[in-house]
Amino acid sequence: MPVRLHVNVDHVATLRQQRGTPYPDPVEAAVFCEQAGADGITVHLREDRRHIQERDVELLRALCKTLLNLEMAATDAMVAFAERIKPDIVTLVPENREEQTTEGGLDVVANREKIGEIKARLAEAGIQLSVFIEPDEAQIQAACELGVDTIELHTGDYCTADDDEAVESELERLAAAAKLAVSLEPDLTLAAGHGLNARNIPDLVTAVPELDELNIGHALISDALFSGLTDTVDRYRAAIEAGESER
């Protein structure tokens, strides 16, 4: 099955919040992305509400025709919000008010009990659970033992690698992590995200054939400033297909 493209529209909301205007609308952006062929929409409702707002998520739940993935911190308040809105899937991510963007993966090992409780609550509400983690053996084992529905591998180190040797090392690390995850839980959905763009996607998809989906936001929205959302989504889908063709 082809690797799915999920578009994160957070940074449409970032631009809106910068001026406090009603535009640009991340919900409208999500509609354009779906019409262009995106397989899902991702948003991160942060504690500080720096970009996506609760109303955005409510509207997306009403209008999204593909799959709605809500990224959020592992807090009781956010779980209660998810239980009310009922996204298709929740992705738990680490969150720090001082960071510009998510820095690294969630520590599932240290937060196993809390994540287990959240998983039970979400399952009761009919919501799947994903965890955003480093491509690390201990984190993958802990996530699989908890029975999460999806593991999203953090690709930040791969995307910031600054020479061919470092790139290859990170691809090998991601490939090993993917193989371990599917060996422990064959029915697991395997995703990846953070820092991905049209240039580094093909090598990742080639190196990690176990991938089911990619979550891409900042680079895609940035490219769309020059090319438009429809053409940019097409370009990113083509980048995925280029990687698949080299397997």
pLDDT in tens, 15-29: 999 999 999 999 999
Q: Taking the alpha carbons of 49, 51, 56, 60 in that order, is the dihedral positive or negative?
A: negative
Phi, psi of 213 (to 5 degrees): -160, 155
237 inside domain: no
Please tell me what DSSP assigns to residue 88. Answer: S
- Site of tokens 């397997």: 247
Q: Cβ of 145: how many Cβ atoms within 10 Å?
A: 13
Read off the pLDDT of residues 93-145 as tens digits, 9 standing for 90 and up: 998 655 555 568 999 999 999 999 999 999 999 999 999 999 999 999 999 99
Q: Which helix (H) or strand (E) covers residue 49, if one does?
A: none
Catalytic site residue from 6, 11, 34, 44: 44
What percentage of the chain carries pLDDT values higher than 90? 96
* 71 part of the active site: yes
65 inside domain: yes
Q: Which helix (H) or strand (E) covers residue 72, if one does?
A: strand 68-72
191 inside domain: yes
Mean pLDDT, the chain, whole residue set: 96
> What does the pLDDT read at residue 95?
85
Residue among 88, 92, 17, 18 nearest 55 (CA)? 17
User: CA 112: distance to chain centroid?
Assistant: 20
> What does the pLDDT read at residue 235?
97
> What does the pLDDT read at residue 102?
57
Residues sharing a CB contact under 8 Å with residue 239, sequence separation 6 or more, in sequence order: 198, 199, 201, 202
> What does the pLDDT read at residue 1?
84
Domain, as residue range, for 46: 4-230
SS3 label, residue 208: coil
235 inside domain: no
* Contact indicator for 9, 26 with CB cutoff of 8 Å: yes
Number of domains forming the structure of the chain? 1
22 inside domain: yes
> What does the pLDDT read at residue 101?
57
Read off the pLDDT of residues 148-187 as tens digits, 9 standing for 90 and up: 999 999 999 999 999 999 999 999 999 999 999 999 999 9
Tell if the pTM clears 0.85, that is, is over it: yes
Catalytic site residue from 6, 11, 154, 194: 194
Catalytic site residue from 71, 152, 170, 210: 71
> What does the pLDDT read at residue 9?
98
240 inside domain: no
* 154 part of the active site: no
Residue 57 pLDDT > 60:
yes
> What does the pLDDT read at residue 87?
98
| Segment 61-86 mean pLDDT | 98
Q: What region does 122 belong to: left with phi over 0, alpha with psi -120 to 50, or beta?
A: alpha
> What does the pLDDT read at residue 217?
97
59 inside domain: yes
* 44 part of the active site: yes
Domain CATH number, residue 169: 3.20.20.70
> What does the pLDDT read at residue 104?
80
In angstroms, what is the C-alpha Rg of the chain? 17
Which two tokens mark 152?
Answer: 């999203």
Cα atoms in the Cβ-side hemisphere of radius 13 Å centred on 86: 6
